[in-house]
Amino acid sequence: MKHLLNITDYSTEELQALIDKAVFIISDPWAYNHSCEGKKLATLFFEPSTRTRLSFEAAMLELGGRVISVTGAGGSSVTKGETLADTARTVSCYADVIAVRHPLAGSARAMANSSAIPIINAGDGGHYHPTQTLADLLTVYREKGKLGGLRIGICGDLLYGRTVHSLIDAMSRYEGNSFVLISPKELMVPPYYTEKLGELGIPFVQTDDLDEALPEIDMLYMTRIQRERFEDPAQYEKLAGRYILDAARMKRASDDCIVLHPLPRVDEISTDFDSDPRAVYFTQAFNGKIMRKALILKLLAGKEHPDNTDLSPEGEKLFRDDTLSCTNSRCVCTHERGIRKEFYTDRHGTVRCAYCDQPVTAAKE
Ligand code: CP
């Protein structure tokens, strides 16, 4: 596919090819150090980042390419009212590939619609974070030697955690996986995911009890409560600090239960667990750079990739309908002027916005 907007843009075969390339790069770090000479990566980060931006930039530099960058909400002409679509069209004149992070769901898709070059979604609000999932997949593969047949615990903010959504999308495609979804009831995973797991016949349970879950799982994916996504700060304060994993608590888990975290962490994993061999979250950050190298190589391989801006995450065909309107205030299409409003009909017959995947609830007059 031309762009990486969601992890489901890639088949499991394509994901495995990226993993295999990454494993090779780890064994021979300089194998591709001239492959991107003459190429430029633009990193457009309208939200803070340490790992994603720097690992993308390090990846491109190690491939022999160069990097141009915009950081912070005020760092580009978007603050003067320029649309993301015009920004993408403009940056297409200066770079060969764009990695974008933005607080609105669907922002990467909005850019892909007008971009002449590949767009990589580096996190769009609380929606998706597919390149974090690439890091997660490589980490599980290297630590467990497989991506299926695992009992996967995911703990914390499953509502706003974009890494969680992309991880479930990815791991639900591997045979034999099951999920233990651990969160307070206020931060349960959006119903779309549990409905999907149910339909696919993938076993899952939802609980708020981390201690009870720990002995049963093969891996634990801890997440931060996403303070920046809460409209009510009091609600965040109520939920913050709900789950704290430490060395004592991890005695309940098996000796080979690995612990991942997309990072940054706040207090949900105590530093007293960092030296435990099951703690793989900093290896995961390293793996992110390697998988981003493999991804850049794939996207800049010189082959013509089919445009994938006309499909939903599940492959449904998008359509335009001026009588429909998305009302999600966190969606790019309620903010971006002149956006091409597009929808799709999911497998239940529900019409959803192509940008944020939320059901369309209101019709225009
Ligand atoms: N995991 C992740 O996206 O980290 P950053 O926010 O630091 O990029």
Reduced to 3 states (helix: H, G, I; strand: E, B; else coil), residue 105 is: strand
Nearest CA to ligand 1 atom 1: 262
For residue 49, give the amino acid letter: S
Residue 346 C-beta-side C-alpha neighbours within 13 Å: 16
User: Distance from CA of residue 266 to its chain's centroid?
Assistant: 19
> Structural domain boundaries of the chain?
7-129+286-299, 132-281, 310-365
Nearest CA to ligand 1 atom 4: 51
DSSP summary character for residue 271: G
> Between 281-299 and 51-62, two packed helices, what is the crossing angle to 10 degrees?
50
Nearest residue to 208 via CA among 153, 273, 140: 153
Query: Is there an atom of ligand 1 within 6 Å of 50 CB?
Result: yes
Using the structure block, give the residue that is written with the tokens 């403009």. 90
Q: Which CATH superfamily includes the segment(s) 7-129+286-299?
A: Aspartate/ornithine carbamoyltransferase (3.40.50.1370)
Query: Is there an atom of ligand 1 within 6 Å of 113 CB?
Result: no
Is 132-281 in CATH node 3.40.50.1820?
Answer: no
Counting as low any pLDDT under 70, the low residues of the chain are 1, 362-365
Give the number of other Cβ atoms within 10 Å of residue 212's Cβ: 13
Ligand 1 atom nearest to CA at 101: 8
pLDDT at 365: 47
The strand pairing partners of 32, in sequence order, are none
Query: Is there an atom of ligand 1 within 6 Å of 132 CB?
Result: yes
Provide the token pair at 121. Answer: 């979604």
pLDDT at 362: 56
Which residues lie below 8 Å from residue 244, measured CB to CB, with a gap of 6+?
267, 268, 269, 270
Query: Is there an atom of ligand 1 within 6 Å of 133 CB?
Result: no
Q: Which helix (H) or strand (E) holds 21?
A: helix 12-27
Question: pTM of this prediction?
Answer: 0.95
Check for a shared fold between 7-129+286-299 and 132-281. yes
pLDDT at 363: 57
Nearest residue to 154 via CA among 288, 259, 255, 52: 259
pLDDT at 364: 47
> Between 162-171 and 130-144, two packed helices, what is the crossing angle to 10 degrees?
50
CATH of domain 310-365: 2.30.30
pLDDT in tens, 27-66: 999 999 999 999 999 999 999 999 999 999 999 999 999 9
